[in-house]
Structure 1
Amino acid sequence: MCGIFGYTGRKEAQPLIIQGLKHLEYRGYDSSGVAIQNGLYSIAFEKTRGKIKNLEEALRRHPLGGHTAIGHTRWATHGTPNQLNAHPHLDNENKIAVVHNGIIENYAHLKEKLKKSGARFRSETDTEVIVHLIAKYYRDDLESAVRRALKDIRGTYAIAVICSKEPGRIVAAKLDSPLVVGIGDKENFLASDVSALLEHTNQVIFVENGDLIVINRDSVKLTNLSGRPVHRPSVKVDWNVAQAKKGGFPHFMIKEIFEQPGIVTAILRERIRNAKIHFDELKITASEFKKIKKIVVIACGTAYHAGLVGKYILEAFADIPVGVDTSSEFRYRNPKVGKDTLVIAISQSGETADTLAGLREAKAKGALTLVICNVLASSLSREAGGVIYTHAGPEIAVASTKAYTAQLALLYLLGFYFAGIFKTLPNSKMRKLLKEFFQIPSKMQRILELYKREETEWAKNAHDFNKRYHAQLEKYFSTDPLKRKRSPNGFFLYLGRGINFPNALEGALKLKEIAYIPAEGYPAGEMKHGPIALIDENPWVICIAPASGTYEKMISNIQEIKARGGIIIPIITEGDNQMRKLNPLYSIEIPRCSELFSPLVTVLPLQLIAYCAAREFGEDIDQPRNLAKSVTVE
């Protein structure tokens, strides 16, 4: 999730670019760079790996003068995080510079064509094809060259371009990656989000998909890719910088919850080309995969729950046995893995100590190893035999949300990939499933839109629980610490069946993590083997009950809860009248989808329930007590 900042005006651009990039640091990055029109008919630039302070130090030694510049913080997706792959990228004559957020899906094809026409590539990135395309089409009109280049590109982008022959001008464009223009007094700005602009202006234009923008010191012109003028009103933003970094949301967690449909869409667009699954960074061949007889998934916390969903997916698609272990237990039980085993390690950070130790144990026993993680060049990705990156962007909130759905999305795609290798799904069935998969993000988006419309009702329900729960606390917790012998009866029980059972665990974990409410996830069929003893009028029971092959069984479980006075909150498929007849406290409806893909949809209400409860309690949602984002100790 890279950051772009651009400036054109009367002031020296270099310090403004550095300050703008610092406001974008929270988005995550592994390198940074700046390109400036220096008035010498070429582009001056500097790029460094690591923190922005490294770029500052380089510019202190070799300052760059000029009044028009673009800067970038890079979160690596194609190519390792090093100085060569950092942005900006320049053409072979150093006349044109580009910074880019997004993914160019057809970069490999374009790169080969450009090489044949004489372009010399310096990096491993997909972005570099953009600058060479623009240089190819440049005929003393940067706007026209950018427009022609973008018509050749398939993928997502926010780009900013400068050319030494057109001083004082920045050309930019957007498709499915954020971009905002800041309007100043005889100066204008460009950034990935509002937070980087508010130090200079609160008058902004939010760029829309398909827009191409030409920014000069005194003007901003917007057109579409066909050259037709478009009008985007400038708006006054009343946020402060902290609010802006959260996109106007009150917390990073809710911002990241709302990013999930877009992340799943981006994963599908990046990985599926011509009805085939592509893992360009994988490094493990199909012939190596064909030797495996079983799969073991190791992970911790939320990633472990993703692995449990992955078990259902991989067994259904690849027809191969899958075991799932918590990483902290895997290495201590002499796991029976070997050359016929694929061990998949899942970790958001790629640095989870227990998972790293488990991976090393698997390698020592000769297993084939694969990592699914979010951070390029992390310890896990360096040590594994193969890696697949989620490309979900940095996750700021400690409680994981978007990393979880990104992991699920890749596990589905890995299932399809294995089905192609092992020939376990007919092509017609695979095409049908992929078609449905592409519809899932819109169903996720519908839930979030419903939440926005009914946020007051969600808050009311959280408030009702808050009052009830605190009454339990007062009843069962004496002020005398010696008498604190039992927990309050008020708690949450999460029930699910089949592929949605792991989401019951995940929902309970989220509530514990950020609201500090006792909660437990259980397979609904196991309720009568113990948890039913806790059911009376106190616990709230969240039942994940979409249309499925076990729906009737779930109805029976809910009737058992109701008979004992339990408070029921079912997550149901829209139009489910049978569940409504059970008169739950309230129900949460989700769009209809197949049972197979339902975890991507049912998890959203679970995340929102935890968020609303924590907000009602006034807890520190983004940084809950005693927890760390990356657990690097065992």
Structure 2
Amino acid sequence: MCGIVGAVGARNIVPILVEGLKRLEYRGYDSCGVAVHQDGALRRSRSTSRVAELDVQVAADAVQGTTGIAHTRWATHGAPAVHNAHPHFSSGPGADAARPARIALVHNGIIENHDDLRAELQARGYVFASQTDTEVIAHLIDSLYDGDLFDAVQQATQRLKGAYAIAVFCRDEPHRVVGAREGSPLILGVGQGESFLASDAMALAGVTDQIVYLEEGDVVDLQLGKHWIVARNVTTGRHERVQREVRTVHAHTGAAELGPYRHYMQKEIFEQPRAIADTLEGVQGIVPELFGDGAHRVFKEIDSVLILACGTSYYAGCTAKYWLESIAQIPTQVEVASEYRYRDSVPNPKTLVV
């Protein structure tokens, strides 16, 4: 899963961005990058090496600024190469390589209508430097920009189909970062005179513990020490100003450190018992019918299990299928979650979906 970090501050925020990426390394990635507003222009460093090498690179290039975004990428569209790495820039229509970039953007998720949007933008003169679906969003926002980045992002999200968490800033608005989410997690960090975005509270550990969990369809405007959130009204389709709860979240850096383990997969395996216990503790009050005294009334009605998962979780689900069918004697089906949504399924109300 890709990682996002963004910040608006009164100090050089590049160390915060890079440190945030280091805390997200446990997710895995094939490239990484940082972009900032510096001396009235957009500057970036991108790499297919580790975040530690990116740290050396930004120091050597003297990349620094008070507004910026950073990203770790798992390739979905396009090979793991520097030109496909985030952040992506848009310099407007035309092939003038000397024209300064205006929009910088990072993105988690997949844009399903990127081909149609790409063709539309190419017809308007936009030139693509990568094979990613992400660059489509950057050019789309640039095409809609008319002096207000927040407004441009709101318009752009209405054109996007699929899943996304984005962080974007503009050359013409040096103390502003705008974020949006639909289907991919994104959080807001509230600091002392500073504002942050991240895909995981872990990325902001040690920076702030005041966290707002953005909801589906939210668009957030970050400025120095203040923020605004709008949500899409499902009835009218328009964005309306909303308030979201600010929570105190004590994310600790140790959770993202290897400790005595050789790699993050080994760390995750050995931490599963604690992770499950922490998860159950957190949801018992939310769904007591599954974990409380009434659980037997729910489970006795279940006649099958459907496990939806991707990647190594899918293989874990295949193992669980053997266990559930041999021990519990309950029919179990395992499907790749990313493909399940695209087919017509026949739901069984007595199926436990995991």
Normalised to the residue count of structure 1, the TM-score between the two structures is: 0.42
Residues 395 and 28 of structure 1, relative CA distance in 2, 3 Å threshold = farther
Structure 2, unaligned stretches of length 5 or more?
92-99, 233-237, 258-264, 273-282, 296-303, 305-314, 334-347
Q: Which residue of 1 aligns with 2:97?
A: none
2:248 corresponds to 1:236: yes
Q: Which residue of 2 aligns with 1:215?
A: 222
Structure 1, unaligned stretches of length 5 or more?
247-393, 402-445, 459-495, 497-501, 510-520, 525-541, 549-589, 605-634
Shift of 1:208: 0.7
Q: Which residue of 2 aligns with 1:114?
A: 121
Q: Which residue of 2 aligns with 1:30?
A: 30
Q: Partners in 2 of 1:452 and 1:56 — Cα distance?
A: 48
Of the candidates 168, 177, 181, which is equivalent to residue 170 of structure 1?
177
Q: Which residue of 2 aligns with 1:489?
A: none
Q: Which residue of 1 aligns with 2:278?
A: none
Aligned partner of residue 46 in structure 1, secondary structure? strand
Q: Partners in 1 of 2:324 and 2:218 — Cα distance?
A: 49
Contact 1:182 1:204 in 2 (8 A): yes
Contact 2:31 2:72 in 1 (8 A): yes
Q: Which residue of 2 aligns with 1:4?
A: 4
Shift of 1:54: 2.1
Q: Which amino acid aligns with 2:330?
A: A
- CA displacement 1:199-242 (0-9 Å, x = unmatched): 11111111111110000012011012433101101111134334
Contact 2:205 2:250 in 1 (8 A): no
Q: How does 1:128-277 map to 2 (within 5 A)?
A: 128-225=135-232, 226-242=238-254
Aligned residues: 293
Q: Which residue of 1 aligns with 2:14?
A: 14
Residues 235 and 58 of structure 1, relative CA distance in 2, 3 Å threshold = same
- CA displacement 1:83-114 (0-9 Å, x = unmatched): 11100000024111000001000001111111
Shift of 1:27: 1.2
Q: How does 1:532-611 map to 2 (within 5 A)?
A: 542-546=327-331, 591-593=349-351, 601=353, 604=354
Q: Partners in 2 of 1:504 and 1:227 — Cα distance?
A: 39
2:133 corresponds to 1:126: yes
Aligned partner of residue 57 in structure 1, secondary structure? helix
Percent of pairs identical after alignment? Answer: 37
Contact 1:39 1:167 in 2 (8 A): no
2:319 corresponds to 1:506: yes
Q: Which residue of 2 aligns with 1:45?
A: 44
Query: Which structure is higher in RCO with an 8 Å CA cutoff and minimum separation 6?
Result: 2
Q: Partners in 2 of 1:455 and 1:99 — Cα distance?
A: 42
What's the C-alpha RMSD, in Å, of the aligned pairs? 3.5
Q: Partners in 2 of 1:173 and 1:221 — Cα distance?
A: 12
Residues 505 and 85 of structure 1, relative CA distance in 2, 3 Å threshold = closer
Normalised to the residue count of structure 2, the TM-score between the two structures is: 0.74
Shift of 1:456: 8.4
Q: How does 1:63-78 map to 2 (within 5 A)?
A: 63-78=62-77
Q: Partners in 1 of 2:317 and 2:195 — Cα distance?
A: 49
Q: Which residue of 2 aligns with 1:292?
A: none
Shift of 1:14: 1.3
Residues 238 and 60 of structure 1, relative CA distance in 2, 3 Å threshold = closer
Q: Partners in 2 of 1:450 and 1:125 — Cα distance?
A: 39
Residues 184 and 78 of structure 1, relative CA distance in 2, 3 Å threshold = same
Q: Partners in 1 of 2:47 and 2:316 — Cα distance?
A: 41
Q: Partners in 2 of 1:503 and 1:36 — Cα distance?
A: 40
Larger strand share, 1 or 2: 2
- CA displacement 1:426-474 (0-9 Å, x = unmatched): xxxxxxxxxxxxxxxxxxxx9xx8688417899xxxxxxxxxxxxxxxx
Shift of 1:508: 8.8
Residues 200 and 505 of structure 1, relative CA distance in 2, 3 Å threshold = closer
Shift of 1:59: 1.2
Aligned partner of residue 268 in structure 2, secondary structure? coil
Larger helix share, 1 or 2: 1
Q: Partners in 2 of 1:209 and 1:38 — Cα distance?
A: 32
Q: Partners in 2 of 1:5 and 1:21 — Cα distance?
A: 7
Q: How does 1:332-351 map to 2 (within 5 A)?
A: none
Residues 135 and 546 of structure 1, relative CA distance in 2, 3 Å threshold = same
Q: Partners in 2 of 1:35 and 1:544 — Cα distance?
A: 54
Contact 1:505 1:522 in 2 (8 A): no
Aligned partner of residue 168 in structure 1, secondary structure? strand
Q: Which residue of 2 aligns with 1:81?
A: 80
Q: Which residue of 2 aligns with 1:454?
A: 291
Q: Partners in 2 of 1:220 and 1:55 — Cα distance?
A: 29
